[in-house]
């Protein structure tokens, strides 16, 4: 009977493992981009024909083993997975890739320290990562050119590149985007003395110098001053690869970066600034381990996230009035309508509702045609409004505990 019990226990264990695999997307969702690391590694090793490879003879050596270029590609692969570590916790494909890299590094006697192969996607003949280069990258990886959208507005609210939506209790300056080409920082300040409500009061954009393509360029906007020019007074830079224009002087600016095919819209609505960004995925993902804090990539730090809608002030009339006002402005019950109610109740000022209206307007400009514009907020039930859903990690722990008990039972 013992073998039968053991077989039965293992059958149940296998079923639980399958269930765990099915549950994994609940936790990592669309933000885990391990396939990008896989495709970059494949692209980097396609042309390797000998020890010269990608890294050349100076690629760090292979300790007498595999080609230096192959070792460089493996180190790049490892670096890419480290960048994804935060988003890919619990993803089985990610952990399989990490273990596979370790095995390959050992098999090929590759030093862990040394040069890495640089992704080729963004290079073009004149040294600029123009759209043609991005299209070539899409052809190399087998994926169509994809654009991502991030919006930051109001108290503040962040719609991330992965379509997560957070309301944040952040004050001071925080990085929104920080990659090899672009740095964007937003500053939030209290709307009035003694108030917990905040608003975006300053936005700083730095286009990083890129080879012979563009020199570093700075753009800064502050409340009541949204210039249609860079900080040096110019409206174009780098042979017009960087340009600024406006539709409303002092309150709107549209910044185009042709060398990375990126559009940024800065706008003042009421007493708050807002930012909307459209950028290729290849640019978004071009960052290193030291560039970990990016609100547009990861959202607000967990300790800084607020529940939405905001706790209601005394008396239900204010809430009903805010909802009626925001519904008239934004009829679709999406995250923008939710943010409108949040800002209006937090600030106690009907002008605060304008930030969500403008954010939706700019999202129509910067989101791709296939993008889900009207992102719906999570459903809540009476008595649990604003409470987060039970974390998938709890289900993981319970199932793992049950799996462990079954394995002990099967081995008995």
Give exposure, 263-272, as e/b (b: 16+ Cβ within 10 Å): bbbbbbbbbb
3-state secondary structure the chain: CHHHHHHHHHHHHHHHHHHHHHHHHHHHHHHCCHHHHHHHHHHHHCCCCCCCCCCCCCCCCCCCCCCHHHHHHHHHHHHHHHHHCCCCCCCHHHHHHHHHHHHHHHHCCCCCCCCCCCCCCCCCCCCCCCHHHHHHHHHHHCCCCCEEEEEEECCCEEECCCCCEEEECCCEEEEEEECCCEEEEEEEEECCCCCCCEEEEEEEEEECCECCCECCEEEEEECCEECCCCCCCCCEECCCCEEEECCCCEEEEEEEEHHHCEEEEEEEECCEEEEEEEEEHHHHCCCCCCCCCCHHHHCCCHHHEECCCCCCCCCCHHHHHHHHHHHHHCCCCCHHHHHHHHHHHHHCCHHHHHHHHHHHHHHHHHCCCCCCCCCCCCCCCCCCCCCCCCCHHHHHHHHHHHHHHHHHHHHC
Question: How far is the CA of 72 from the CAs of 69, 107, 166, 234, in angstroms?
Answer: 5, 14, 38, 41
pLDDT of residue 111: 85
Tokens of 357: 């209206």
- Within 10 A of 336 (CB to CB), how many other CB atoms are there? 29
Estimate the crossing angle of helix 92-107 against helix 68-84, to 10 degrees: 150
Q: Cα torsion at 358, 363, 365, 369 (round to 10°)?
A: -150
Please state the separation of Cα 395 from the chain's center in Å.
25
Which one is the CATH code of 148-306+362-366: 3.40.1000.10, 3.30.465.10, 3.10.20.30, 3.40.50.720?
Answer: 3.40.1000.10
pLDDT of residue 376: 82
pLDDT of residue 142: 60
Task: List the pLDDT tens digit at each of the 412 positions of the chain.
Answer: 444 444 454 444 444 444 444 444 433 334 566 766 776 776 676 555 433 333 333 333 333 334 677 888 888 888 888 877 877 877 777 888 888 888 888 888 888 887 776 554 444 555 676 655 566 656 555 666 788 999 999 888 999 999 999 888 778 899 999 998 999 999 988 877 666 678 899 999 999 988 778 899 999 999 999 999 999 999 998 888 999 999 888 899 999 999 898 999 999 988 899 999 999 888 888 887 777 789 999 888 888 887 654 444 444 567 888 889 999 999 998 999 989 998 888 877 788 889 999 999 999 888 866 567 888 876 543 333 333 444 444 444 445 555 555 554 555 5
- Domain spans of the chain, in order of start: 148-306+362-366
pLDDT of residue 374: 84
Question: How far is the CA of 76 from the CAs of 39, 44, 79, 375, in angstroms?
Answer: 12, 9, 5, 35
> Model's pTM, two decimal places?
0.63
pLDDT of residue 247: 87
pLDDT of residue 286: 82
Residues 6+ apart with CB under 8 A from 369: none
Residues 6+ apart with CB under 8 A from 143: 39
């Amino acid at each position: 009977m013992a073998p039968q019990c053991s077989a039965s226990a293992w059958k149940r264990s296998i079923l639980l493992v399958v269930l765990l695999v099915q549950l994994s997307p609940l936790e990592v969702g669309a933000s885990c981009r391990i396939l990008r690391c896989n495709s970059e590694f494949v692209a980097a090793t396609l042309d390797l024909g000998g020890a010269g490879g990608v890294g050349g003879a100076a690629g760090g050596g292979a300790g007498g083993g595999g080609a230096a270029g192959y070792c460089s590609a493996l180190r790049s692969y490892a670096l890419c997975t480290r960048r994804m570590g935060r988003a890919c916790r619990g993803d089985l494909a990610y952990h399989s890739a990490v273990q596979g890299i370790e095995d390959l590094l050992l098999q090929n006697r590759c030093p862990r320290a040394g040069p890495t192969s640089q992704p080729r996607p963004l290079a073009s003949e004149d040294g600029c990562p123009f759209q043609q280069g991005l299209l070539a990258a899409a052809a190399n990886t087998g994926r169509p050119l994809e654009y991502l959208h991030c919006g930051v507005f109001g108290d503040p609210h962040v719609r991330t590149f992965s379509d997560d939506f957070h309301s944040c209790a952040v004050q001071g300056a925080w990085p929104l985007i920080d990659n090899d080409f672009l740095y964007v920082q937003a500053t939030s300040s209290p709307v009035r003395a003694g108030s917990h409500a905040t608003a975006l009061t300053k936005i700083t954009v730095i286009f990083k110098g890129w080879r012979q393509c563009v020199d570093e360029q700075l753009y800064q906007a502050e409340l009541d001053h949204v210039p249609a020019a860079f900080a040096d007074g110019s409206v174009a830079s780098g042979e017009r690869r960087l340009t600024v224009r406006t539709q409303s002087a002092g309150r709107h600016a549209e910044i185009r970066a042709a060398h990375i095919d990126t559009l940024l819209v800065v706008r003042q609505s009421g007493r708050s600034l807002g930012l909307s960004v459209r950028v290729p995925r290849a640019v978004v993902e071009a960052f290193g381990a030291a560039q970990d804090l990016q609100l547009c990539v990861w959202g607000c730090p967990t300790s800084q996230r607020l529940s939405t809608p905001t706790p209601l002030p005394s008396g239900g009339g204010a809430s009903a009035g805010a909802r009626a006002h925001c519904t008239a402005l934004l009829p679709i019950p999406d995250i923008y309508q939710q943010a409108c109610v949040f800002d209006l109740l937090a600030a106690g000022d009907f002008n605060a509702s304008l930030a969500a209206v403008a954010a939706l307007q700019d999202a129509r400009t910067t989101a791709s045609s296939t993008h889900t514009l009207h992102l719906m907020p999570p459903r809540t039930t009476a008595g649990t409004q604003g409470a987060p859903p039970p974390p998938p990690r709890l289900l993981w722990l319970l199932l793992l505990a049950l799996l462990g008990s079954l394995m002990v039972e099967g081995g008995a």
